[in-house]
Structure 1
Amino acid sequence: MTSIRKLIRGQARDIGFPIRRLLPDAEVRRIGPFVFFDHMGPAVFEAGTQAGDVRPHPHIGLATVTYLFSGAMMHRDSLGNVQRIVPGDINWMTAGRGIVHSERMPEDIREQQIAVQGLQMWVALPERDEEIAPNFQHYAAEQLPRAMFPGVQLHVLAGQAFGQNSPVVCHSPTLYVAAWLEAGASLEISSETANYPERGLYVVSGSVTVNEQVVDAGTLIVLEERNSVSVTANVSAVLMLLGGAALESSPRLWWNFVSSSKERIEAAKLAWASQDKNVFPPVPGESERIPLPDRQ
């Protein structure tokens, strides 16, 4: 029996920041609670410009998760948080009933022409938690546990895996692990992750072999539920393992809004369009905003 359900190459886009969008896919809308997945960059941005900046925009019903491989980003939100994100850190922003944030390129990164590369994920909240108070948690790289095996280094970002337990607080069973493999090294993803039946493996760089099938960089491997799988690096490779328990309901996605309720999304659209500060407070220090799109 194959361990691969589907291979997703995603779509290359330029949103002021070159990205590859892996989720949602036409056939695979989510993997566990992960409902959105962008691979950002690598990209270098010109000094003295706003290229690559993401102006203030709103969210409801989800948590955004940022993880960088190189460069840095500056996070600001309507709760008053200002946080520089560097490689290895986890920024976990829970939108709940509503939050606004921006992500901008630090000036030193522009001036030194440092490439910015990372992953932006959205984790849908369980229906019972969609309207909780917004929250922001930052976990520095050294707070997140690591594991080592022959030729393999692992950074356990969320959940329990490979004998490690991440301190990141999640609202449903969530698995998120970064892995670096030397050429010829293998990583066993076993059925021990019983709490995370839905899993995907993204090849950030390099090339791997899974069940005698070669998979190159930029590909999201959607694994069959609960199957064990062995992954071998053909050359040095960077991988991301993600997944979790299936969501109890099927959330709707419209622009930056996630909710089990169509009416709730319509209300969020109206609140942002009308600049209702009771629903979406401004981000301190920011004067710009991304307008509501005419359509998704």
Structure 2
Amino acid sequence: MTTTQTTPGGHFDIGGDLRVARMGFGAMRLAISGLDGPPNDRDTGLKVVRGAVELGVDHIDTAAFYYVQDGPAANEMIRAALAPYPDGLVIATKVGPYRGPDERHPSGEIPASGLRAEVERNLRELGRDHLDLVYLRPGGMEEPTDAPIGERFAVLAALREEGIIRHLGVSHVSMAQFAEAREIAPVTAIQNRFDITQPEDTELLALCEREGIAYAPYFPLGGFGVPDDDRVNTIAARHGATPAQVLLAGLLALSPVMLAIPGTGSPAHLEENMAAAGIALTPDDLAVLSRRDDAPYPPEGPVVRGR
């Protein structure tokens, strides 16, 4: 494996005052690894969360709707594994999608009147008196739209003024929605879909670079499984790395504002993901990864499941 002596990912200051390593951890797959698979083992999940912090993670991304009916919940596992929380640990969460008690996935969005209760739910489940970073994710789980988000984002802005929330972000948004949110309160982070082989959100990423705003993409490994992509596989072989490591290293190399938050319920994959921060991709590697003439999207080929 080709590595550098110091981690190329380095650090980023969210909002100018929350310093985090650029390789973080996403909690979505703590409760369930696949889209419709069985619940994960809770004890293994606790081991993964503790292991992430031991390996240097100080930025965990979670949400109250990351749970399995009659199974584990991400927020509960984070609290059980880490409380009392170590100094410097930043926990980000998302609010907005509505998930009914018997639903496996969110089916709508919480109205403005319900967002305070959802923030308070995250506080209770995590055992915190404030939340470091809260993203508003509009539109449920559908494709992003340009529907107004101002009324709902204003609720979070008011909670920020109360000191319940430290920093605000937006997720799954268009450029117009991002601009609308910034008219109400400072936005310090974006969480849109992005992976190195399909850079769909380059305009917003470029804006984040100009403004010093963190960009923490969801599905950094392509979705619920690593794509079987010839470009990725070739570069992985060149570096003695796995395809997942190449995707993560590519994100960190692409932009200084990029924060990687890969999720997994596997201790082995956790170690693999963290090691990706030490892989030094070349400009030629990045050029190959971003070339799109041979990469249909969504991927037409098989994916490697079970991360």
TM-score, normalised via structure 2 length: 0.29
